Amino acid sequence: MDFTTAVKTCFNKYATFSGRAVRSEYWWFVLFLIIANIVASVLDMAIMGNGGMGFQPISTIFALATLLPSLAAGARRLHDTGRTGWWLLIAFIPILGAIILIWFLAQRGEDGTNAYGPAPTTGGAGTSIPRVDRQ
């Protein structure tokens, strides 16, 4: 899955916490969020001045607008590894929780169908092409 397809998929599944997401879908979306946050911060500094230390309206609006899709993509990614989306809460444990969560999110997804649905595939209707993140 490429960058634009991943971003479109995550926004099309804005608050869909069911199903599975391949590694490339999740990590391309994370890259998009990082780049967009940097752009929003730069715009805030240019518009609001004061070195970005005050209120940052663009960054705040962007963070709120992307909160649900980022949680949903994370839950679907964890589903692909056979874990429940509730594992996202481990990030609240300082340092160690974030490390464990990144480890879970970076792992290879399960082949075939698991408790959260069939393995994600790419391709048109009726096609079954091997998972993109297997290469």
The token pair that represents 84 in the structure block: 């429940």
Q: In 3D, which of 81, 86, 70, 135 has the Cα closest to residue 108?
A: 81
- Contacts of the segment 117-121: beta carbons below 8 A, 24+ positions apart: 117/18, 117/19, 117/20, 117/79, 118/20, 119/20, 119/80, 120/19, 120/20, 120/21, 120/22, 120/25, 120/80
User: What stretch of H or E contains 34?
Assistant: helix 23-48
What confidence category does residue 131 fall into, taking pLDDT thresholds of 50, 70 and 90? low
Task: Provide the residue ranges of all domains of the chain, joining segments of one domain with +.
Answer: 3-134
What is the DSSP-derived secondary structure letter of residue 92? G
Instruction: Give the confidence band of 82 by pLDDT, cuts at 50, 70, 90.
Output: very high
Give the Cα separation of 50 and 125 in Å (integer). 53
Express each pLDDT in 23-45 by its tens digit. 999 999 999 999 999 999 999 88
Q: Is the model's pTM score more than 0.75?
A: yes
